[in-house]
């Protein structure tokens, strides 16, 4: 996290920001700090995310603004809503729903540490349910001309009591309705990036579909069956070179509860060429629903 880890924010506790009062620090990311805050107008706890101006660059400012604006456009049960956007003398900020729960990435990490090898993957039914809800949210976002471009388990929060997954972090989202060429196209997380995104080519809904398909595979396997790679750059190069697909094994070879039907769904979603993937998230979701009904 670099510079963000060294910033002392103790002086912000109790400070009023917009309609909220900062209560305590919750987490730090690559460029921002998230607090639990109290929204005085509606008498509820919320999350407040800040980007200190001392770390401000054109790139970080644009990403932060993109995250707030993209999420603010959207209203869906599986997308974290943004309430307020603004800035102070010291930082940019926005407030959003506070989710009581864990990231899907953390859940997968915990499951993989199970003492029993047979329980080191998420139950198939649960994985399909979570992915189906995410696809519904992405289908809606795509209909609003927003491509997320960084779908991964760490950007999915799962509510503790309802087990509802919520998509967060629209920091590298692309808004198709306007000219959004201010940021480089090659942004995202290597494991989940499709070849066209790595190559800096045009992305669309099928680019998010690739990431969701990869995420589904991760939920169903003890580890993703990539060929050996020495660095993130090496993985990106292999993803571009291996036009027959990056995975060396099928889900059914790594999970006794998976079968050829789920293999076909995962490999269709993660096909090298966009044209060979699902046309949209609705088709992907329908295939998963049909699969769930038949099992």
Q: E strand or H helix at 88, and its extent?
A: none
What's the average model confidence in pLDDT over 201-220?
Answer: 96
Which has the minimum average pLDDT: 12-16, 115-119, 160-164?
A: 115-119
Predicted confidence (pLDDT) at residue 12 exceeds the cutoff of 80:
yes
Predicted confidence (pLDDT) at residue 185 exceeds the cutoff of 80:
no
Does residue 150 carry a catalytic annotation? Answer: yes
What's the average model confidence in pLDDT over 163-168?
Answer: 96
Predicted confidence (pLDDT) at residue 5 exceeds the cutoff of 90:
no
| CA atoms of 255 and 138, how far apart (whole Å) | 27
| CA atoms of 84 and 50, how far apart (whole Å) | 12
Which has the minimum average pLDDT: 49-58, 143-152, 203-212, 242-251?
A: 49-58
Let me know: does 94 contact 69? Beta carbons within 8 Å.
no
Q: What is the pLDDT of residues 111-155, one digit of tens each?
A: 999 988 888 899 999 999 999 999 999 999 999 999 998 999 999
Selecting among 10, 90, 145, 150, the annotated active-site residue is 150
238 half-sphere exposure, CB direction, 13 A CA radius? 17
All domains in the chain, ordered by first residue:
3-96 (3.30.200.20), 101-293 (1.10.510.10)
Predicted confidence (pLDDT) at residue 252 exceeds the cutoff of 90:
yes
DSSP 77: T
Higher pLDDT, 55 or 173: 55
């Amino acid at each position: 996290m670099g510079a963000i880890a060294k910033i002392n924010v103790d002086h912000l506790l109790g400070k009023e920001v917009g309609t909220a009062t900062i209560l305590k620090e919750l987490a730090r990311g690559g460029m921002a700090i998230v607090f639990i805050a109290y929204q005085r107008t509606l008498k509820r706890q919320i999350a407040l995310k800040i980007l200190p101006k001392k770390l401000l660059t054109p790139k970080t400012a644009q990403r932060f603004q993109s995250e707030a604006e993209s999420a603010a456009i959207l209203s869906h049960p599986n997308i974290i809503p943004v309430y307020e956007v603004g800035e102070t003398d010291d930082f940019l900020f926005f407030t959003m729903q506070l989710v009581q729960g864990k990231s899907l990435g953390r859940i997968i990490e915990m499951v993989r540490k199970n003492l029993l090898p047979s329980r080191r993957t998420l139950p198939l039914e649960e994985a399909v349910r979570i992915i189906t809800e995410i696809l519904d949210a992405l289908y809606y976002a795509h209909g609003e001309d927003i491509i997320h471009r960084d779908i991964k388990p760490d950007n999915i929060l799962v509510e503790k009591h309802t087990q509802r997954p919520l998509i967060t972090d629209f920091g590298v989202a692309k808004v198709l309705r306007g000219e959004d060429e201010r940021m480089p196209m090659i942004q995202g997380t290597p494991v989940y990036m499709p070849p066209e995104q790595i190559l800096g080519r045009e992305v669309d809904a099928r680019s998010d579909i690739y990431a969701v398909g990869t995420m589904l595979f991760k939920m169903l396997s003890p580890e993703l069956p990539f060929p050996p790679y020495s660095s993130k750059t090496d993985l990106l190069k292999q993803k571009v070179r291996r036009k027959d697909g990056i995975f060396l094994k099928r889900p059914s070879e790594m999970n006794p509860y998976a079968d050829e039907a789920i293999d076909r769904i995962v490999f269709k979603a993660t096909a090298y060429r966009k044209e060979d993937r699902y046309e949209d998230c609705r088709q992907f979701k329908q295939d998963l629903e049909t699969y769930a009904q038949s099992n």
